[in-house]
Amino acid sequence: MDLSHTQMAEAFARRDRAFDGRFVVGVVSTGIYCRPSCPARRPRPENCRFFTRADEAEGEGFRACKRCCPGDVARDEAAVNRALAMLREQARPVALAELAKACGYSPTHLQRVFARATGLSPAAYGRALRQEAARASLSEEGKVTEAIYAAGFEGPSTFYADMEGTLGMTPSAWARGGAGVAISWAVVETSLGPMLLAASDKGVCRLSFNEGEEDLRARFPRAELIAGGADFAALVQQVVAAVETPGTGPDIPLDVVGTAFQQRVWDQLRAIPPGETRSYGEIAAALGQPGASRAVGSANGANPVAVLVPCHRVVQAGGALGGYAYGEAIKRELLRRERKA
């Protein structure tokens, strides 16, 4: 998506690294061009010229800033892509030094540019890839041990250490599609309509509106569904309170699983203060991937726990509400309540 003059000027003013590589700024008074994140003192607005590519700036007679080296953006991008390809191709952990050598960078510099581009260190990104492969393998393989090695782990001990707290259920249960996992559930009335709440012993795994037992069974076909009793009532009260007064409830434990990118998007959603909103583009930029607005939208829509992961706080770039899985009226009301609080 093309950036407007205002968007580029604002990104340059706040030194936003997320926009490096998307445009450069020519400074008429000095004859140089810079990255948006250049640490140099900002020139007067009337002295700024904006270009989508470095060669356009050079064609107008500007030369590259020696402080921020805007010409290195393309080189950094190529290095990150090379590192990503290695991490995806190798069915094993890849050392930072090995990645750096292949990219022609020092380990420290590669770590910096990789994290800037993806929001994760190479090691964390590699772990996320192995975790995603483990989830897929555990769903497809007949034995847990086979799934462990198919996912690229060296053995069971490293697998269990790396996956601790990420599956939301035991690996054996995951391999059987959730068989043997007990999920308590209830449908309760709220001012927003009937709310379905479901939770494992680790936390809430589903919160939705206008859904029932049939929808829950479709999502967890092999789990043991148990109608919530007295022990479940306390959690129900906490969640209802969070729905009725969004943003002011207690810190309710969650048991949700997503891809590495989805988890990063959901973390960004939970970081949005109550009463505020963000656009898909703003979240993508915060992740260091400004071109990923559509992917952010998909991750937002995949959120399994409404309100607790506040996907209702994401709106369109122009301020329009945009879509919501449970209807625009519920989204508008949630935002109204948060602004009022």
Per-residue pLDDT tens for 200-229?
Answer: 888 898 999 999 999 888 788 888 899 987
162 three-state secondary structure: helix
- Out of 34, 48, 103, 205, the active site residue is 34
Q: What is the arithmetic mean of pLDDT over 80-99?
A: 85
Angle, helix 293-301 to helix 260-271, in steps of 10 degrees: 80
CB 200 within 8 A of CB 183: yes
Query: Out of 33-37, 84-88, 236-240, which region has the weakest mean confidence (pLDDT)?
Result: 84-88
Q: What is the pLDDT of residues 113-154, one digit of tens each?
A: 887 667 678 888 887 777 666 655 555 545 556 656 665 666
pLDDT band at 44; cut points 50, 70, 90: very high
Position 148 scores a pLDDT of 60
Q: What is the pLDDT of residues 158-172, one digit of tens each?
A: 665 555 545 455 555
What letters, b where the CB count within 10 A reaches 16 and e where it falls short, cover 25-55?
Answer: bbbeeeebbbbbbbeeeebeeeebebbeebe
Task: Report strand pairing: 24-27 vs 48-51.
Answer: antiparallel
Query: Out of 99-108, 117-126, 330-339, which region has the weakest mean confidence (pLDDT)?
Result: 117-126
Q: What is the arithmetic mean of pLDDT over 70-82?
A: 80
| Percent of the chain whose predicted confidence (pLDDT) is above 70 | 81
pLDDT band at 93; cut points 50, 70, 90: confident
Position 176 scores a pLDDT of 52
pLDDT band at 76; cut points 50, 70, 90: confident
3-state SS string for 208-229: EECCCHHHHHHHCCCCEEEECC
Could you tell me where the DSSP H helices lie in 38-71?
54-59
Residues 6+ apart with CB under 8 A from 142: 175
Residue, of 65 and 292, whose pLDDT is higher: 65
Q: Is the pLDDT of residue 195 over 60?
A: yes
Q: How far apart are CA 193 and CA 203, in angstroms?
A: 22
Active-site residue 311, yes or no?
Answer: yes
Instruction: Assign residue 151 a region (left: φ > 0; alpha: ψ between -120 and 50; beta: otherwise).
Output: alpha
pLDDT band at 321; cut points 50, 70, 90: confident
> Is residue 103 annotated as involved in ligand binding?
no
> Is residue 69 annotated as involved in ligand binding?
no
Position 31 scores a pLDDT of 95
Question: pTM (2 decimals)?
Answer: 0.55
pLDDT band at 30; cut points 50, 70, 90: very high
Alpha-carbon dihedral sign for residues 117, 120, 126, 132 = negative
Position 49 scores a pLDDT of 96
- Out of 48, 103, 205, 311, the active site residue is 311
- How many CA atoms are closer than 13 Å to the CA of 92, on its beta-carbon side? 6
Q: How far apart are CA 176 and CA 160, in angstroms?
A: 17
DSSP state of 46: G
Q: What is the arithmetic mean of pLDDT over 242-248?
A: 79
Could you tell me where the DSSP H helices lie in the chain?
5-13, 54-59, 72-89, 96-103, 107-118, 122-140, 144-150, 156-163, 171-175, 213-219, 230-244, 260-271, 280-286, 293-301, 328-340
Position 174 scores a pLDDT of 47
Q: What is the arithmetic mean of pLDDT over 18-46?
A: 90
Position 70 scores a pLDDT of 86
> Is residue 48 annotated as involved in ligand binding?
no
Q: Could you tell me how many residues make up the chain?
A: 341
| Percent of the chain whose predicted confidence (pLDDT) is above 90 | 29
Position 68 scores a pLDDT of 87
Domains of the chain: 5-70 (3.40.10.10), 72-176 (1.10.10.60), 182-244 (3.30.160.70), 260-340 (1.10.10.10)
Position 141 scores a pLDDT of 46
Active-site residue 205, yes or no?
Answer: no
Position 147 scores a pLDDT of 59
Phi, then psi, of 252 in degrees rounded to 5: -90, 130
Residue, of 148 and 281, whose pLDDT is higher: 281
Residue, of 328 and 152, whose pLDDT is higher: 328
